[in-house]
Amino acid sequence: MDYLITEELPSFSQFARLHEDSGLLKNKKGNYTREQLYEAAKNSWYSISIYNDQKLIAFGRMISDGVYQSLICDVMVHPDEQGNGLGKQVIEKLIYKCKESGIQSIQLFSAKGKHPFYKKLGFAEREHDAPGMSLLL
């Protein structure tokens, strides 16, 4: 199948629809509007969008300092398209952008139950004595 892969941010409506269809919207911590989530995506360092027949079917983004740290956020694939390698393509493009920029440290937060997917792509869980931490306000 021929997919269109672009670094351009999708339209608000396409982004909001995929956020909801993929289930990522209900996994968000905090009460954010769709508009706020789109604004966050607009403020990303880099993003990838994949379309099938002008419909957004996969998306991923990163925030970064552009030098040595990056954080992968909001990787989502439409449920009807899962299993077709699109998530892998998104991650590979994000990793390539880091390599191209000389960034050697890539972090990510995985949606519940998705960590085996990321392990297959080379990501490792943090060591037990060096856990990641978060603060929700």
Active site annotation includes 118: yes
Select from 92, 24, 95 the least CA-distant residue to 56: 24
What is the tens place of the pLDDT at every residue in 57-83?
Answer: 999 999 999 999 999 999 999 999 999
Asked if the model's pLDDT at residue 29 lies above 70, the reply is no
- The verdict on residue 127 lying in a domain is no
Under the banding of pLDDT at 50, 70 and 90, the label for residue 131 is confident
3-state secondary structure 75-126: EEECHHHCCCCHHHHHHHHHHHHHHHHCCCEEEECCCCCCHHHHHHCCCCCC
Under the banding of pLDDT at 50, 70 and 90, the label for residue 54 is very high
Indicate the pTM of the whole model.
Answer: 0.90
Spot the catalytic one: 3, 46, 96, 118: 118
Domain count within the chain: 1
- The CATH number given to whatever domain includes residue 21 is 3.40.630.30
Q: Which helix (H) or strand (E) segment is 59 a member of? A: strand 55-64
Question: Which range marks the domain in which residue 109 is found?
Answer: 4-120
